[in-house]
Amino acid sequence: MNIQQTTPSIYVADLAAYNEGHLHGKWLDLSEHDLDSLDAEVADLLATSPASHAEEIAIHDSEGFGGWLGEYSGLESAVRLADMILEHGEVLAFAALNYAGGVYDLDSAEEFLNRYVGAYPTARHWAEEELEAEFSALPKSTQRKLELYFDYESYVSDREMNGDLEIVEDDGKVHIFIHRAE
């Protein structure tokens, strides 16, 4: 998967105007807005509506959200998701959304991102780093045997199948997420 970074933006449409056959809306760059400033932009949009009873909006288009944001996702979800994308990048944010099942459980997506331990050339590289401290506490002769015979790929596979390790591959790297016992 190779995703090109796009600034998260939404097109907010005035539904009353839309229902009367008028296109009245605005593109908003979410890298420049928090929820309060976004609410103010929407209030200004509705105040200038060609429809007399404008009070509701919908997100009619978006960029930089990888298709995860829907028409009625809501402004709070749009801002939270934009913040995740801007902070962690699209690959990790979209992996978190996939884990959480979409934008309706952003708390789980954020929790998933907190499990991130890093990017590695391969999962084996992560496993070697993960076990290095434990192996170095052993006598040198035992370390040499482990280095020769330990099956890192099986270790990774077992951890993944047990559900305490998740791997996201992107652009020649693997991103590792670990479930940390509390």
Mean pLDDT (10-residue bins), the chain, 182 residues: 70 95 95 93 96 93 92 92 94 92 92 94 94 89 87 94 92 89 51
Query: Which pLDDT belongs to residue 168?
Result: 93
CB atoms near residue 43 (< 10 Å): 11
- Rounded to an integer, what distance in angstroms lies between the CA atom of residue 140 and that of residue 135? 9
Question: What pLDDT is stored for residue 3 in this prediction?
Answer: 46
Give the largest Cα separation in the chain, rounded: 82
What number of other Cβ atoms are within 10 A of residue 100's Cβ?
Answer: 18
pLDDT at 72: 86
Considering the entire predicted model, what is its pTM?
Answer: 0.81
Whole-number Å distance between alpha carbons of 1 and 43: 38
pLDDT score recorded for residue 1? 43
Residue type, 43: A
Angle between helix 106-113 and helix 75-88 axes, rounded to 10 deg: 10
CA atoms of 105 and 87, how far apart (whole Å): 18
Q: Would you call 126 helix, strand, or coil by DSSP?
A: helix
What is the predicted pLDDT for the residue at 123? 95
* DSSP per residue, 33-50: --HHHHHHHHHHHHHT-S
